Structure 1
Amino acid sequence: MTSKDPASPGHRPGADHSKHNHAGHDHSRGDHAGHNHGPSGEKHGPGDGHDHSHANFLGPNTEMIFALASGAALIIGVLIDNFVGAAPGWLPTALFLLAYFFGGFFTLREAIDNLRQKKFEIDTLMLVAAAGAAALGAFAEGALLLFLFSLGHALEHYAMGRAKKAIEALAELAPPTARVRRDGVTSEIPVEELEIGDTVIVRPNERLSADGFVILGNSAINQAPVTGESIPVDKAPVADPALARARPNSVLAESRVFAGTINGSGAIEIEVTRRSTESALAKVVKMVSEAETQKSPTQRFTEKFERIFVPAVLILAFVLLFAFVVIDEPFRDSFYRSMAVLVAASPCALAIATPSAVLSGVARAARGGVLVKGGAPLENLGSLTAIAFDKTGTLTEGKPRITDVVTASGVSEDELLRVTVAVEALSDHPLAQAIVTDGTARLNGAGIPAAGDLKSLTGRGVYATIGGETVWIGKAEMFGTDGIPALGQEMTTAVAQLREAGRTTMVVRQGGRDMGVIGLMDTPREAAKQALLKLKDIGITRMIMISGDNQKVADAIAKDVGLTEAWGDLMPEDKVEAIKKLRANEKVAMVGDGVNDAPAMASATVGIAMGAAGSDVALETADVALMADNLAHLPFAVDLSRKTRSIILQNTILSLGIVAVLVPATIMGMSIGAAVAVHEGSTLIVVFNALRLLALRNRYAESPVAAQA
């Protein structure tokens, strides 16, 4: 079955097809099946070089039309031969030969291609068997063989095309044109002509044509096509367009947008940060397509098996040619039996068992916002017993928040916060920014005094002046040194209690009076706890947090989100050693942001990156990428992998079982036609069983919308 040419007009996936035509799958040449026959292990499927488009003069379904024409000629020939006595004797034979022509047309072309590549595969075996039947005068049986084989292939190609289309549909999400404002003039241009820095106008309910950040307007955007998120995400303009332009990777999620997503009811304007060939969607299309070529452990095993099995079958068929020497039968019967064994023992279903499941699984994962880079990580993901998580940005928001405000005797919370916010507003430290943001919100509009003369004590804290008095804010260790009076017992006790709970503490003193302590913590993600509970239900027995924070902070976060273990005080190289230690005893995944955690992810059985839609590094380094910055998709990915492993096992057992039954059956006398019928039937069962993955429901979705994403 041929697919739409991605290079043709109107089909603009946002990727440079001259560089990566779906991972080398040149669809302009036609999609011919998804087999992997023969000892060579060469792919017999989309992009394998088997070119049927040169004969698609009747449209994309030419192969199916030829197969049905073969069947019609065969049936008419049989009816005339058996029920129309007055018909000329040559007519049934002519119809059988016509069936040979239509049934063998594509098979012959492919056999010639194979022989040119020095490959002796199933197509050649079928032609030899059909020619042998004709040599014996059994034209009807030979025609039946070619009809069933060609029909099986045509149906198989159609079924595999369904999985291919699921991937190609990703490429069609981005619109072909964009509405751009340049120098005050608005015009519509092809997305390929978009430049970084262009302003794109997006009307309500339109698909976005480029990656970028919002500079004007508010809206809710359905990001499910790219990230798999179940509900639309509210978007607002960036606070500082110049800063966003200079550091596009630091733009917050509430302002970042992606090509292929769907705008809500508000008109927005976005500034382009990536060309169409570099958008998150384009990279997903490219990587998902490339994932088809990445072989899984089971696929590598079946290819090794075929390298031994196929020569053994050829030797068996050759030996059976001389059965007439041992048993009392004519050479004709021995030859016929040998041809039947060749057909029955073809590893067609076995070869397609794993690729079809992997292709369907990868396509379904991509539609659910999970990028899986090939068969190996797809299978390995389902075999995990342990998952290690980075803390910052994975289990937590990566943004410290005020969790506790402890005031000294005689000091109100508002008084403490007003002084603290006034001083910290002069600092650009992340903890200072967190205090200003959360403190201002807690003050609810209360007046904040003016502060000045900010000075920093590196690694310890800051001090400034308010109304002529010095205000110190910093770690407890700052007090009692360098002429700064020591803390009183009340504050010392409060600091100790907050630190025991895993809080980062900032002590505040104004003049000679201790005012209080503010506790901060990198708060857990809302989705983390639920995701971990679901992973536990699936059967992940160990879930470990590995973090560079101190052990008490790690323990506090682990307890909050429901982890089984927490390992703190780890440097990046220590994380790698921790993963290696875990992997020595079990299969373990490492979940991180794909940047600082890349070495640990590479050491794990499966590396899983969070928020890959906005991170080039995450897309490149991980085996599995959760496109949304959300752990909620991880249980779905593991569940999908386990379903894929189950279907691969079912397909492998079925295909080997059919061969195990057919080979002795044909030796004992089963006809070629019956062997072909069972053989092709098993191949179709294997393919359609794999296609069930495309319809797999996301049982872990936050809402029904996610299951349809």
Structure 2
Amino acid sequence: MHKKQIVLGVVLPGVPDLQDKCVQRITEQLGTKIGIDDAHSIEGDENRPNKLCIHFDPSILSLTDVRDITRRAGARLEARYGHAVRRIGAMHASKASAIESRLGRLDGVLEVVVSPGGTLRVEYDRQLISVDKIEDAVGEWSKQPGEKSDDHTGHSHEDEGHEKDHDHAGHGHAHGGIFGPRSELIFAVLCGVFLLAGWLLEMVTGATDWLPLVCYGAAYLFGGYYTVAEAIEKIRAGKFEIDFLMIVAAAGAATLGAWAEGALLLFLFSIGHALEGFAMGRAKRAIKALSELAPRTARVRRDGQKLEVAVEELRVGDIAIVKPDERLPADGFVVRGETSIDQAPITGESAPVDKLPVADRESAAADPEGVASDHRVFAGTINQAGAIEVQVTKTSAENTLARVVTMVNEAETRTSPTQKFTKRFERYFVPAVITTVVLLLFAPLVLDEAFSDSFYRAMAVLVAASPCALAIATPSAVLSGVARAARGGVLVKGGGPLESLGRLDAIAFDKTGTLTEGKPRMTDVRPADGVSKEELLRIAIAVEDLSKHPLAKAVVRDGKAKLGTERDGLSKAANLKSITGRGVQAEVDGRPVFIGKDELFSEVDGPSLPYPIRSTVESLESEGRTTMIVRYADRYLGVIGLMDTPRKAAKRTISRLRKLGIKRMIMISGDNQQVADAVAKAVGIDEARGDLMPEDKVDEIKKLNSDAGVAMVGDGVNDAPAMASASVGIAMGAAGSDVALETADVALMADNLDHLPLAIGLSRATRRIIRQNLWMSLGMVAFLVPATIFGLNIGPAVALHEGSTLVVVFNALRLLAYASPSTDGS
């Protein structure tokens, strides 16, 4: 049995990650082919992309056959299955549920999620339904009654088989009716006005009997207009929810002659409905504000001329001119001018960041993600001090701001564990309520009371038992939490990570670049006997100049500085190969060079490590140095010692996390144990695990996960496997890093540890709010159901029911004002 690995992006170019269902589909399809024994996915990292691994019988299939079969299967999936993420405007949870159900019934729609915040995610089969048909259905169902039907919900564009609508929202809720977007609120107020007028006329002695009835009828019309419309929508979707129950109860009250009570019921329900929508819209606007940060036009220098173009027309390589107090139109790096930039809209950093031009444009353009942070800029940030010129590295659809907006919108459609619980609860609770109401209608058979009294009581129970507050309890908190996090430079991918992070009491940190600056410096150059420092440095610099590892960059930078004027004689290396977790090898002047840990030299051919070299390594490591042994052919040239200093924010961050309730914090590192212990002690962490290979880090995370959930904090690139194994993966410095944005559950956009307590504290606050909302909504139902059975009238029941819904929503909105824990040095 042989194996063949194929890069996932080649087979399914539109699939961003391994969680996509198309990955499961293709592995299942390949598993059914004769000659293929098994197919599964392999998660990659910065250097290795996601792949499909195919086990096949070479006596039946050749490598070419396997490759062709896989690509054909991928092409069929890409041609057949589409994905769309789009905005349709904020709405009530009940309406979102109705649209979700109706879309789910369309032939060809495989999965659909609609959030109350107004984001739709749908997966569909292109052979059975087109995206235009889905757009038409969504555009019609997301309209308010009275809204014109020629306003659709934005624009879709194909992205290699997986669609994402990055447009913000079309007009799903833009008109709302004859009075514009506030029509529902105005109708509710008119309902209240006519209810009050009818009640006052009833109180006036000698008033004509029909005048109050006319006023109550008008109150019914205005109070029931939107309620009836949504009830009809849900009935067509096969759902009997709160709107339907309210209409039945109001109609029942009118049948019994209790017009005032029926009008009061509709007034309280419609005003509650309108205010709930207003509150949810406020949370949604906090997210929508992100998408409006980038300017609409940009000044560029092309072919020696200055032009003003739409940001959508910017091309990679363009030179954009940005004046003071202007927002940057694109991601890129500074090529001329010096300035300070307010990056708070993207990274959440409170202080402006100084920016300088790059020294080498060509090398920066070849590796834009490798450009240092003091040269990189992002779309939507604000230029403050001086005029600058920026070379564009990403188009408007691919820049960091666009990706954040898209991911925040997608996060709304990812259900949290609590949302799944409430849906399961409603599935059993609603039939139980209907059964109870039907039984109450037969009360006259066992009680001495009129049918009208039993009917009234049954209507009151219908109103009281509707789980309206329960339906909105979790989505409102998640939406507010995600919006607040995004404003603070923290990207949280949905309610699941938000809740999980708030529940955990253990965090694992990667060392290099997370707890330390990630900018090590060369501290020691210890040549072997008979070897000069110059020779040791020349060989080390030649090899490490081919690597992008932080330690390699430190060797090159500091080594050249130590050589001074003698660097003109530097050798040239070739054929660099990384030996994972051990070091590197290359060739200089046709002879092999090995640089790495002492373990490396017990695994490669050649003379064993001499005692003096081993003694030097042990001495340096006892002082907290990271060591690199250099061997040229069969000669050991010596040892280089480096030190990566802890971040200034590390110690105070650890202290603040302890105050937030994180009981256990562990540092994991590939460095030797002495170095790990030294750094851990400096930042205040009790446990440090050193000498870990990448697979060892995964094993450590799994051990911690077996005791209790654990979050893993890293850079989202080299730590991707360990982060994927953790309950929650947190990537630092994710702004501009595609890999970090894709792999992490939570992304700290700034390369700043101070933002971690915000993420943890906000997640804990969100979890508290969710618990409060659940207790409040379930508690109100538990009180109202027996209270209405034993005689509580519909009016008070509706007031308490709608009041609890509003309290739940406004309680969730408190998260928008969440303040990060103190950033002092305590």
Q: Residue type matched to 1:221 in 2?
A: I
- Partner of 1:323 in structure 2? 443
- Partner of 1:74 in structure 2? 195
The aligned runs of 1:168-179 (5 Å cut-off) are 168-179=288-299
Contact 2:342 2:353 in 1 (8 A): yes
Q: Which moved more, 1:687-696 or 1:53-62?
A: 53-62
- Partner of 1:12 in structure 2? none
Q: Residue type matched to 1:354 in 2?
A: T
- Partner of 1:363 in structure 2? 483
Q: Could you tell me how far 1:644 is from its partner in structure 2? A: 0.6
| 2:165 equivalent to 1:106 | no
Q: Which deviations, in whole Å up to 9, do the C-alpha atoms of 1:605-628 show, x marking residues without a partner? A: 111112211211111111111111
| 2:652 equivalent to 1:530 | yes
Match of 2:686 among 561, 564, 568: 564
The aligned runs of 1:183-332 (5 Å cut-off) are 183-332=303-452
Report the 3-state secondary structure (helix = DSSP H, G, I; strand = E; otherwise coil) of the residue aligned with 2:116: coil
| 2:144 equivalent to 1:144 | no
Match of 1:51 among 120, 133, 143: 143
Contact 2:298 2:309 in 1 (8 A): yes
- Partner of 1:14 in structure 2? none
The aligned runs of 1:125-524 (5 Å cut-off) are 125-404=245-524, 428=545, 433-435=553-555, 437-438=557-558, 451=569, 495-505=617-627, 519-524=641-646
| 2:125 equivalent to 1:63 | no
Match of 1:578 among 678, 687, 700: 700
Q: Residue type matched to 1:554 in 2?
A: A
Report the 3-state secondary structure (helix = DSSP H, G, I; strand = E; otherwise coil) of the residue aligned with 2:334: strand
Q: Could you tell me how far 1:386 is from its partner in structure 2? A: 1.1
Instruction: Give me the whole-angstrom Cα distance separating, in 2, the residues matched to 1:517 and 1:376.
Output: 47
Q: Which deviations, in whole Å up to 9, do the C-alpha atoms of 1:295-330 show, x marking residues without a partner? A: 111111111111111111111111111112211111
- Partner of 2:129 in structure 1? none
| 2:638 equivalent to 1:638 | no
Q: Could you tell me how far 1:487 is from its partner in structure 2? A: 9.2
Instruction: Give me the whole-angstrom Cα distance separating, in 2, the residues matched to 1:358 and 1:152.
Output: 21
Specify whether residues 583 and 189 from structure 1 end up closer, same or farther in structure 2 by C-alpha distance, changes over 3 A only: same
- Partner of 2:751 in structure 1? 629
Report the 3-state secondary structure (helix = DSSP H, G, I; strand = E; otherwise coil) of the residue aligned with 1:523: coil
- Partner of 2:785 in structure 1? 663
- Partner of 2:93 in structure 1? 34
Specify whether residues 702 and 163 from structure 1 end up closer, same or farther in structure 2 by C-alpha distance, changes over 3 A only: farther
Contact 1:228 1:627 in 2 (8 A): yes
Q: Which deviations, in whole Å up to 9, do the C-alpha atoms of 1:388-421 show, x marking residues without a partner? A: 1222322233333123578999xxxxxx988977
Instruction: Give me the whole-angstrom Cα distance separating, in 2, the residues matched to 1:39 and 1:301.
Output: 19
Report the 3-state secondary structure (helix = DSSP H, G, I; strand = E; otherwise coil) of the residue aligned with 1:399: coil
Q: Could you tell me how far 1:425 is from its partner in structure 2? A: 6.1
Q: Residue type matched to 2:196 in 1?
A: I
Output the aligned Cα RMSD. Answer: 3.6
Specify whether residues 622 and 87 from structure 1 end up closer, same or farther in structure 2 by C-alpha distance, changes over 3 A only: same
- Partner of 2:45 in structure 1? none
Q: Which deviations, in whole Å up to 9, do the C-alpha atoms of 1:512-545 show, x marking residues without a partner? A: xx99975312333332232222212222122222
Instruction: Give me the whole-angstrom Cα distance separating, in 2, the residues matched to 1:492 and 1:590.
Output: 33
How many residue pairs match? The answer is 662
Instruction: Give me the whole-angstrom Cα distance separating, in 2, the residues matched to 1:168 and 1:146.
Output: 32
Q: Residue type matched to 1:529 in 2?
A: K
Report the 3-state secondary structure (helix = DSSP H, G, I; strand = E; otherwise coil) of the residue aligned with 2:519: strand
Q: Residue type matched to 1:292 in 2?
A: E
Q: Residue type matched to 2:769 in 1?
A: I
Q: Could you tell me how far 1:696 is from its partner in structure 2? A: 0.6
Q: Could you tell me how far 1:569 is from its partner in structure 2? A: 2.6
Contact 1:38 1:120 in 2 (8 A): no
Q: Residue type matched to 2:386 in 1?
A: G
Q: Which deviations, in whole Å up to 9, do the C-alpha atoms of 1:360-405 show, x marking residues without a partner? A: 0010001011111111110000111111122232223333312357
Q: Which deviations, in whole Å up to 9, do the C-alpha atoms of 1:218-259 show, x marking residues without a partner? A: 111111111111211111112211111112221111111111
Specify whether residues 476 and 59 from structure 1 end up closer, same or farther in structure 2 by C-alpha distance, changes over 3 A only: closer
Instruction: Give me the whole-angstrom Cα distance separating, in 1, the residues matched to 2:575 and 2:440.
Output: 90
Q: Which moved more, 1:152-161 or 1:593-602?
A: 593-602
Instruction: Give me the whole-angstrom Cα distance separating, in 2, the residues matched to 1:476 and 1:273.
Output: 37
Contact 2:492 2:746 in 1 (8 A): yes
Contact 1:230 1:701 in 2 (8 A): no
Q: Residue type matched to 1:32 in 2?
A: M
Report the 3-state secondary structure (helix = DSSP H, G, I; strand = E; otherwise coil) of the residue aligned with 1:645: helix
Q: Is there any run of 5+ residues in structure 2 with no aligned partner, and where?
A: 1-81, 102-113, 121-140, 148-175, 577-582
Report the 3-state secondary structure (helix = DSSP H, G, I; strand = E; otherwise coil) of the residue aligned with 2:350: coil
Instruction: Give me the whole-angstrom Cα distance separating, in 2, the residues matched to 1:229 and 1:520.
Output: 30
Report the 3-state secondary structure (helix = DSSP H, G, I; strand = E; otherwise coil) of the residue aligned with 1:314: helix
Contact 2:542 2:571 in 1 (8 A): no
Query: How high is the sequence identity, in percent, across the aligned residues?
Result: 60
The TM-score with structure 2 as length reference comes to 0.74
Instruction: Give me the whole-angstrom Cα distance separating, in 1, the residues matched to 2:596 and 2:474.
Output: 58
Indicate the structure whose relative CO is greater, using CA pairs within 8 Å and at least 6 residues apart. 1
Instruction: Give me the whole-angstrom Cα distance separating, in 2, the residues matched to 1:499 and 1:524.
Output: 16
Contact 1:38 1:306 in 2 (8 A): no
- Partner of 2:800 in structure 1? 678
Instruction: Give me the whole-angstrom Cα distance separating, in 1, the residues matched to 2:757 and 2:556.
Output: 36
Match of 1:590 among 698, 704, 712: 712
Instruction: Give me the whole-angstrom Cα distance separating, in 2, the residues matched to 1:191 and 1:483.
Output: 58
Q: Could you tell me how far 1:556 is from its partner in structure 2? A: 2.7
Specify whether residues 665 and 452 from structure 1 end up closer, same or farther in structure 2 by C-alpha distance, changes over 3 A only: closer
Q: Residue type matched to 2:757 in 1?
A: P
Q: Which deviations, in whole Å up to 9, do the C-alpha atoms of 1:438-496 show, x marking residues without a partner? A: 467789xx86576456789997999999xxxxxx99889899xx999x9997x986553
Q: Residue type matched to 2:253 in 1?
A: A
Match of 1:550 among 658, 661, 672: 672
Specify whether residues 588 and 338 from structure 1 end up closer, same or farther in structure 2 by C-alpha distance, changes over 3 A only: same
Report the 3-state secondary structure (helix = DSSP H, G, I; strand = E; otherwise coil) of the residue aligned with 1:536: helix
Specify whether residues 556 and 124 from structure 1 end up closer, same or farther in structure 2 by C-alpha distance, changes over 3 A only: same
Instruction: Give me the whole-angstrom Cα distance separating, in 1, the residues matched to 2:456 and 2:302.
Output: 75
Contact 2:542 2:573 in 1 (8 A): no
Q: Residue type matched to 1:677 in 2?
A: A
Q: Residue type matched to 2:301 in 1?
A: R
Contact 2:509 2:665 in 1 (8 A): yes
Instruction: Give me the whole-angstrom Cα distance separating, in 1, the residues matched to 2:584 and 2:86.
Output: 56
Specify whether residues 37 and 124 from structure 1 end up closer, same or farther in structure 2 by C-alpha distance, changes over 3 A only: farther
Contact 2:711 2:728 in 1 (8 A): yes
Q: Residue type matched to 1:630 in 2?
A: N
Instruction: Give me the whole-angstrom Cα distance separating, in 1, the residues matched to 2:339 and 2:181.
Output: 42
Specify whether residues 506 and 550 from structure 1 end up closer, same or farther in structure 2 by C-alpha distance, changes over 3 A only: closer
Instruction: Give me the whole-angstrom Cα distance separating, in 2, the residues matched to 1:36 and 1:536.
Output: 42
Report the 3-state secondary structure (helix = DSSP H, G, I; strand = E; otherwise coil) of the residue aligned with 1:186: strand
Report the 3-state secondary structure (helix = DSSP H, G, I; strand = E; otherwise coil) of the residue aligned with 2:383: coil
- Partner of 2:22 in structure 1? none
Q: Which moved more, 1:651-660 or 1:495-504?
A: 495-504
Q: Residue type matched to 1:344 in 2?
A: A
Instruction: Give me the whole-angstrom Cα distance separating, in 2, the residues matched to 1:206 and 1:166.
Output: 21
The TM-score with structure 1 as length reference comes to 0.85
Q: Residue type matched to 2:91 in 1?
A: H
Specify whether residues 41 and 347 from structure 1 end up closer, same or farther in structure 2 by C-alpha distance, changes over 3 A only: farther
Contact 1:44 1:50 in 2 (8 A): no
